[in-house]
Structure 1
Amino acid sequence: MPLSSADPLVLSYPFTGRWLARNSPARRVPSHGTDLMGSTYAIDFVAVGEDHRGAPLSLGAALGTEPPEKFVGFGAQINAPIAGRIVESYDGAQDHVARRSQLTLVPYLLTQAQRLREGVHGLAGNYVVIDISGEGPFVLLAHLQRGSVCVRDGDFVEPGQQVARCGNSGNSTQPHLHLQVTDSTDWRHANGLPIAFRHPGAPALPAESEIVDV
């Protein structure tokens, strides 16, 4: 989807392979139905196979939880989408089992209030934040795999440099990458900022459920 705004932050895709866009700000703003913690223009990406699914469907998927390792994206390399300095990171949150069944989502939703109370650690899980100028904007990459964050606060990263691997930590029901840009790392008061991704011709946002091949 071409952009109408003149000032989105233009990023490179932080992965390679085939990924499905979810909760795209090309569909609606706020993209996740809330402005909480600067998520106004956030977008999610789910790695998929040739069948455009994150993992094969099975009876187990319909009735119960699934190991995150079953999913194409779990452990996929995540790269810096722009140059900048790592100013915040966390790598201690566990990766959850995946939940695609409505039956398994009910008990998960009952724990949502606890994740909200925990703030960025509860919601983002394992994450890194890149400051692109020394005073922002700030790029958040979230739901990373535990033990995979390979940068430290203070490190300078270049576009395409590995920072972690895709996981299922924080507020996540199946392995995916959550990306957002904010004007602050004071998460309770941060404002979300619009984004775009490099495409042939002009920067653009993937539409909802669009497949991105990188």
Structure 2
Amino acid sequence: MTPETPETPEPSPPQPPETHALLRFLTAAPEERPRLAPRVAEAVGADTLERIVRATLARTGRPVTVADSPDGLIVTGEEGGQVRAWARTAPDGELTALYLEGTRYTPPRRRRPPYALLLPLLVLWNAVALWTAPDRTAWLTDLTILAVCCVLAEGLGAPAQQPRLPRRTVEAAVVVAALVSAPRLSELPPGHGLLGLAGAAVLLLALVVVVAVARTHTWRAPLSQPLRFPLEGVWYVVQGGGRPLNHHVRIPEQRGAVDLVGLGRYGTRTRADHEPTAYAAYGRAVRSPCDGRVISAEDSIEDQRPDAGGRLRYQPLYGNHVFIDTGREIVKLAHLRAGSLTVSRGDVVHAGQLLGETGNSGNTSEPHLHLHAERDGVGLDLRFSGVAGRLYRGRVIRTFP
């Protein structure tokens, strides 16, 4: 018999130089670390850098590996603890930039089911229920519940993010069902479920009040003067306003922030494929919203993949960005496209000047522009010349040169 040739294990994919440089840095003696990452030590201070490293080692134990993964660089310690990291190196292996996540890393769970489909299905179910209601009170209750679903979708949701055809189909079905089923009322008995009808009415009123308050919310922290809207074309506010329309409100310096996504020719934000270039926001010009001096600018962080299903690589929070000091507040624009910036730290800029292009870098699941202003670490209420009123989730902004 001919002996079988043993299988050769597949070679491990080559690791980027950042993995080796970061492992060497983390396992070095404390006095050696500033030499291995002098720019990082200078930026944050050697003592602060050492505190961050010690906190990381407390989560991981002594590091034994640093490996690249879809979630970023993963530091694994001898005790099994893991932390995500992001790093940049010079050709000689020096660490030139470093971020270490402040929590232990837990591998992501499987993709969540599409909960976004539940509300449209509930809307359609209530529309059908109008045809089967046994009495007038039940019909009015179903109609009120249908109105509750519509407020949830239009007021608290972000309907313009959804493809226009299915969105308009659901909306048309609701209107047709309500109108065509109305003649049944003359044939139905009065009914006795007044308590259910009253409960639905109270819920509807409460939701309307919540949406109205969130859309008109103000922190009573005004800008020194209105900003120039930094984008041209048609843009949709996907995060903005007060709680619960804006997930930024839990972070003090970002509490007044907005996230802006581009809308394409047919009212949708993306085509069928899921590359960054498929999104209407990607690569659009971003202009300075104010006069001031650039105090921070980054231009080298790669884009995230929009189809990651919520699984993002660990990167610096703002990704590629431009921060502008007006003398009275700091204005921050984030998630820009790598290689697109036209300004650098220390440059003086003027309102309307080209800064770069929208991208998908940093903590972001799709191409968009993040914008907020802060003073002394506290977020301010945004206001734009030529754009009346508040910017809240669901609002469409049209600006043209």
Q: Please confirm whether the aligned pair reaches a TM-score higher than 0.5, indicating the same fold.
A: yes
Instruction: Quote how far apart the aligned CAs of 1:107 are.
Output: 3.2
Q: What aligned pairs does 1:77-88 form with structure 2 within 5 A after superposition?
A: 77-88=285-296
**Which segments of 5 or more consecutive residues in structure 1 lack a partner in the other structure?**
61-65, 116-121, 185-189
Q: Distance in 2 between matches of 1:50 and 1:17?
A: 10
SS of structure 1 residue aligned to 2:359: coil
Residue in structure 2 matching 1:44, options 259, 266, 282: 259
Residue 13 of structure 1 aligns with which residue? Answer: 229
For 1:18 and 1:199, locate their aligned partners in 2 and report how far apart those are by CA, in whole Å: 14
Tell me the distance in 2 between the aligned counterparts of 1:156 and 1:130. Answer: 9
Match of 2:354 in 1: 162
Aligned AA for 1:73?
A
Aligned structure 1 segments of 4 or more residues deviating by more than 6 angstroms: 1-6
Structure 2: how far apart are the matches of 1:88 and 1:70?
Answer: 29
Question: Match of 1:97?
Answer: 305
Q: Is 2:344 the counterpart of 1:152?
A: yes
Which structure shows the bigger proportion of residues in helix conformation? 2
CA distance in 1, matches of 2:325, 2:395: 28
Q: Could you tell me how far 1:163 is from its partner in structure 2?
A: 0.4
1:53 matched to which residue of 2?
268
Q: Closer, same or farther in 2 for the Cα pair 1:34/1:4, shift >3 Å?
A: closer
CA contact (8 A) 2:245 2:392 kept: no
Whether 1:175 aligns to 2:379 is: no
1:73 is aligned to 2:265? no
Structure 1 residues 106 and 169: CA distance shift in structure 2, 3 A: closer
1:198 is matched by which residue type in structure 2? S
- Kindly indicate whether the alpha-carbon contact (under 8 Å) linking 1:24 and 1:44 is maintained by their aligned counterparts in 2: yes
Q: Which amino acid aligns with 1:166?
A: T
SS at the partner of 1:87? strand
- Contact 2:260–2:369 (Cα < 8 Å) also in 1: yes
Residues 33 and 207 from structure 1, CA distance in 2 versus in 1: closer, same or farther, beyond 3 angstroms?
closer
Give, in angstroms, the shift of residue 132 of structure 1. Answer: 0.5
Given residue 398 of structure 2, which amino acid in structure 1 is its aligned partner? D
Structure-2 change in CA distance of 1:154 and 1:54 (3 Å) = same
Write out per-residue CA displacement over residues 102-158 of structure 1, whole angstroms, 9 at most, x where no aligned residue. xx42533xx5xx45xxxxxx110000001001xx41000000000011101111111
Separation in structure 1 between the aligned mates of residue 248 and residue 262 of structure 2, nearest angstrom: 22
State, as a whole percentage, how many aligned pairs show the same letter.
28
State how 1:108-127 maps to structure 2 within 5 Å: 108=312, 114-115=314-315, 122-127=316-321
Q: In structure 2, do the counterparts of structure 1 residues 204 and 198 end up closer, same or farther at CA, with 3 Å as the change threshold?
A: farther
Larger Rg: 2
Distance 1:29 1:197 in 2: 22
Say whether the 8 Å CA contact 1:54–1:71 is kept in structure 2.
Answer: yes
How far 1:84 moved relative to its partner? 0.9
Do the aligned partners of residues 6 and 106 (structure 1) sit closer, same or farther apart at CA in structure 2, a change above 3 Å counting?
A: closer
Secondary structure in structure 2 of the residue aligned to 1:73: coil
Match of 2:389 in 1: 204
> More relative contact order in 1 or in 2 (CA 8 Å, sep 6+)?
1
Q: Secondary structure of 2:379's partner?
A: coil
TM-score, scaled relative to structure 2: 0.42
Matched, 1:24 2:240: yes
Partner Cα distance (1:210, 1:24) in 2: 9
Cα shift at 1:8: 2.0
Q: Which letter maps to 1:128?
A: V
The residue identity in structure 1 corresponding to 2:228 is S
Distance between the aligned counterparts of 2:380 and 2:281, measured in 1?
A: 26
Specify the alignment match of 1:192 in structure 2: 379
Shift of 1:183: 1.8
Unaligned runs of 5+ in 2: 1-214
